Amino acid sequence: MRNIKLIIEYDGTNYCGWQKQKNGISIEEMIEKSIEKILKEKVELIGSSRTDAKVHAKGQVANFFTNTRVPAEKICNALNSVLPEDIKIIHSEEVSKEFHSRYDSKGKKYSYLIVNREVPLALYRNYAAHVKYDLNLGNMQEACKYFLGEHDFSAFRSTGSSVKTSVRNIMLLELIKRDEFITVNIEANGFLYNMVRIIVGTLIDVGRGKIKPNEIKDIIQSKDRKRAGATAPPQGLYLEKVYY
Amino acid sequence: MRNIKLIIEYDGTNYCGWQKQKNGISIEEMIEKSIEKILKEKVELIGSSRTDAKVHAKGQVANFFTNTRVPAEKICNALNSVLPEDIKIIHSEEVSKEFHSRYDSKGKKYSYLIVNREVPLALYRNYAAHVKYDLNLGNMQEACKYFLGEHDFSAFRSTGSSVKTSVRNIMLLELIKRDEFITVNIEANGFLYNMVRIIVGTLIDVGRGKIKPNEIKDIIQSKDRKRAGATAPPQGLYLEKVYY
């Protein structure tokens, strides 16, 4: 058996998310079906991150085991020829049998796009969150500092996943503003369920003046989900990169 | 009668273009129908630019005459509440009866987004042109200089429009590269039919080495459409701003 690693880009707009579900079409099953079509073999895809419905990826990673003799580098183009237009494989390679895209991940990078203006979005409606309130970027940037480092992020996760620990280490959290676009870049050794979207929702509350920057410290310590902001909408979120 | 000016953003993906056509739904008719719904009055919308199918706009301008007493500034929100999600009005105001969005335009700014990489696009497939060939950005930038200024751009227009003169003045033509994204910004006192897309197609040929930068001068002088590059695809094109 050979172990094949894929790097995947997708537009999550029309999917129920990465993971297979009863009520919708998942990205995972679209890729599995395409692999079956190309390699004439049923495989089980292991994804690094279970992105939610409408969430996008530029660098999702997945792996699968196969008996095929097709060269690993050629699997990329072959899959792209049968995949739907909103899912494309960026890269394919053979890796050691021990490689597991989820368990071996050492960290991940996400970005989140906000469009800050009064008028609703036409062009970016599926690719950004719309915030119509005036946002104080300086306050949001100050708040970012309090998230950095190793903390128990229980206040910043949704129920619905079972993980051993809710301690995570955020290495990067920055905001970049260009005209009406605010990009949030965040990197950590791992993320709890909905953690990025709740952090972004909380930063938006800081920007609106509902939360003071230095309150973030207390909110983290409280481990109380109700004290953090709302979960920001999925369509602004991009899985950028998975580190191994 | 009052004359109302609108600034409009739209995602052109699902439309046959700005202008009404038999075989498809146009942006113009969607807005006209929405105005009728809101103001209970049939109006004729005058658009500044007849953008093609799949072309986007961040700052299309249109005007219409109405007897309504609804304050002009409130028309924006009212229209947005009934318009489809891929068309939004950014701004509405009352202007002098003489204002004509097309005839009074003093210039326009377009941008064009290219994604330059081997793998086909999933995320940006409807919002950028995909170029898989290696592009020499330096050569493309050198070529830009030859387009600047007043020229007869007959070599850079498609047949299908009847205008008095094909002389136009290009004030700005620049390329900005960020990772795999190349943005072309272009500003002129006016554009011939498909002019931006043919200029971009020609710049791509320069980037690929099919046309030398200093050949642009000859191509312009030849007034021969066949000597310029292919018309770049519509989905990379954005009408950014109309100047009055």
Cβ separation B88–A119 shorter than 8 A: yes
Q: Which residues of A sit in the known binding site for substrate? A: 110
User: Is B31 domain-assigned?
Assistant: yes
Q: Are residues A189 and A133 located together in one domain of the fold?
A: yes
Pair A56, A11: CB distance under 8 Å? yes
User: Is A17 domain-assigned?
Assistant: yes
Contacts of A10 in chain B (CB under 8 A): 122-123
For chain B, helix, strand, coil in percent to 5 are 30, 30, 40
CA-CA distance, B54 to B98, in Å (whole number)? Answer: 31
Residue B111 Cα, gap to closest chain A Cα (Å): 14
Q: Are residues A125 and A74 located together in one domain of the fold?
A: no
Give the burial class of A237: count Cβ atoms within 10 A of its Cβ; 0-12 exposed, 13-18 middle, 19 or more buried: buried
**DSSP per-residue letters across B92-119:** EEEE-TT--TTTT--EEEEEEEEEESSS
Residue B118 Cα, gap to closest chain A Cα (Å): 9
Pair B181, B128: CB distance under 8 Å? yes
Q: Which band of pLDDT confidence, cut at 50, 70 and 90, is reported for residue B138?
A: very high
User: Is B101 domain-assigned?
Assistant: no
Q: What is the pLDDT of residue B160?
A: 72
| CATH number of the CATH domain containing B86 | 3.30.70.580
- pLDDT, one tens digit per residue, over A48-72 is 999 999 999 999 999 999 999 999 9
Pair A95, A3: CB distance under 8 Å? yes
CA-CA distance, A189 to A47, in Å (whole number)? Answer: 17
Active site residue A52: yes
Q: Are residues B90 and B115 located together in one domain of the fold?
A: no
Q: What is the pLDDT of residue B220?
A: 98
CA-CA distance, B141 to B143, in Å (whole number)? Answer: 5
Q: Would you say residue A164 has pLDDT above 90?
A: no
Q: Are residues A124 and A62 located together in one domain of the fold?
A: no
Q: What is the pLDDT of residue B79?
A: 98
Contacts of A89 in chain B (CB under 8 A): 119
User: Is B102 domain-assigned?
Assistant: no
Q: Which band of pLDDT confidence, cut at 50, 70 and 90, is reported for residue B209?
A: very high
- pLDDT, one tens digit per residue, over B80-127 is 999 999 999 999 999 999 999 999 999 999 999 999 999 999 999 999
| Average pLDDT of the segment spanning A103-115 | 98
Q: How many domains does chain A have?
A: 2
Which residue range(s) make up the domain with B70?
2-95
Cβ separation B85–A11 shorter than 8 A: no
Q: Are residues A127 and A238 located together in one domain of the fold?
A: yes
Closest CA to A94 of A71, A124, A113: A71
- pLDDT, one tens digit per residue, over A33-53 is 999 999 999 999 999 999 999
Provide the sign of the torsion angle of the four alpha carbons A44, A50, A54, A59, taken in this order: negative
Quick check: helix, strand or coil at residue A205?
helix
This complex has an ipTM of 0.92
Q: Would you say residue A162 has pLDDT above 80?
A: no
User: Is B158 domain-assigned?
Assistant: yes
Q: Are residues B78 and B178 located together in one domain of the fold?
A: no
CA-CA distance, A193 to A154, in Å (whole number)? Answer: 10
For chain A, helix, strand, coil in percent to 5 are 30, 30, 40
Q: Are residues A116 and A205 located together in one domain of the fold?
A: yes
Place of tokens 């028309």: B75
| CATH number of the CATH domain containing B190 | 3.30.70.660
Closest CA to B165 of B185, B189, B146, B138: B189
Residues in B 129-168 with any Cβ partner in A closer than 8 A: none
Q: What angle do CA A121, B47, B230 make, to 5 degrees?
A: 85
- pLDDT, one tens digit per residue, over B56-70 is 999 999 999 999 999
Quick check: helix, strand or coil at residue A102?
coil
**DSSP per-residue letters across A108-120:** EEEEEEEEESSSP
Torsional class of B209: left (φ above 0), alpha (ψ -120 to 50), beta (otherwise) = left
Around B17, how many Cα atoms within 13 Å sit in the side-chain half-sphere? Answer: 14
Cβ separation B88–A11 shorter than 8 A: no
Q: Is B183 on the interface with A (CB under 8 A)?
A: no
Strand duo A129-131 + A107-116: pairing = parallel
Q: Which band of pLDDT confidence, cut at 50, 70 and 90, is reported for residue A159?
A: confident
Pair B207, B137: CB distance under 8 Å? yes
Percent of chain A with pLDDT over 90: 97
* B100 C-beta neighbours (distance < 10 Å), count: 14
Q: Would you say residue B162 has pLDDT above 80?
A: no
Contacts of B14 in chain A (CB under 8 A): none
